[in-house]
Every structure is written in C-alpha cells, then in structure tokens.
Structure 1
C-alpha cells in the first residue's frame, strides 16, 4: 500500500519529545530565559520581559524613572533569600535593561 504524505492528525499542534507543545517552547524563547547573575557578590535571578509581556508601569530602582508599558526590561530578585524563595520573589524589581547592566 502506498504511503500517504498527508498529516494524520489535522488540527493538532506539533509536540516535542517531552510532550510540550513546540509553540510553547518558542514563546518561552521569545520571552527570554531565566538565568542567575552575580552582581557585587550577590547572586540574582534575572528574567527578561518581552514588550508583549510588559503590561504594567514600574519604577526602575536604578534610575528611579518609569519603565513604561510595552517596553522590554529585566526583572531581578535575590537568588537565595534569607527568608526563602517566596520572599525573594516577592522582592523582585523591574529594571531598565541598561540600568541593570550598569548596576
């Protein structure tokens, strides 16, 4: 019997090897990957925020001006907080990307 070149499952999204949808993986890559950086002897967890995900205004702790809605920026919080990870995340701050690099 000849082989069919048509996809068998119309309407389904392609899934990666671990079962996660490939479109979700692409969205995560576009949004930016969380990483750990060390600044002045302190480890920080850093998460880039894409313009599409920047839905609020924040005050940058580096320059004390506003990070406007729709501007790509960085969110940072202590990687190891004295009172636990939840408290560290609660103390996260939104920085202009330039201000974070200069800090």
Structure 2
C-alpha cells in the first residue's frame, strides 16, 4: 500500500499583526494595533489603570519597536491597554 503524500506546509513566519501604526512616546517608539474586541474571549489587565479589559471590549495592543535586553523578541512585550489609558500615557 502506498503512502499518501500531503502538500508541504509553508514555513510559519514570526507573528506579524495585520495592521498597526508606530507611535512616539516619551520612552520610545511603540507599535499600536487597534482591536475591536469582537474575537476576544479573554479578560486582560490594562497596565495604565490596572483595571480589567472585559472580553469584547475595543482596546489597543501595544509593543515596543525595539526589544528590551531581556526579551527574545519585542512582540513578547506586548500589552493590552484601554484606548483612553494609552492616549493619556505621556
């Protein structure tokens, strides 16, 4: 009996967000992605106010353009923020 050969799987690249913008803050440049929250089913804690971001709540996903010394990649430092908390951040 012959073995069935499937198609080779494409190489999975590092995670890349679908669309984001770079914003300048006092502490450097940050990638910012707006999320509608529609596909979110998890509660996150906003680092700006330390309050929960409920599932299905619009918010932003933020990570530095340049990684810190202790991270393997900048995307490992991503955080979910309330939109207003992020905009109030200096």
Gaps of 5+ in 1: 1-31
Larger Rg: 1
Q: TM-score when scaled to structure 2?
A: 0.70
Q: TM-score when scaled to structure 1?
A: 0.62
1:56 corresponds to 2:42? yes
Gaps of 5+ in 2: 1-17
RMSD over equivalenced CA pairs, Å: 2.0
Structure 1 stretches of at least 4 aligned residues deviating more than 6 Å after TM superposition: none
Please give the alpha-carbon distance, in whole angstroms, between the structure 2 residues aligned to 1:79 and 1:62.
Answer: 19
The DSSP-based 3-state class of the residue aligned with 1:98 is: helix
Cα offset, 1:54, TM superposition: 2.2
Cα offset, 1:56, TM superposition: 1.0
Bigger relative CO (Cα 8 Å, ≥ 6 apart): 2
Equivalent residue, structure 1, for 2:63: 77
| 1:28-67 correspondence to structure 2 within 5 Å | 33-67=19-53
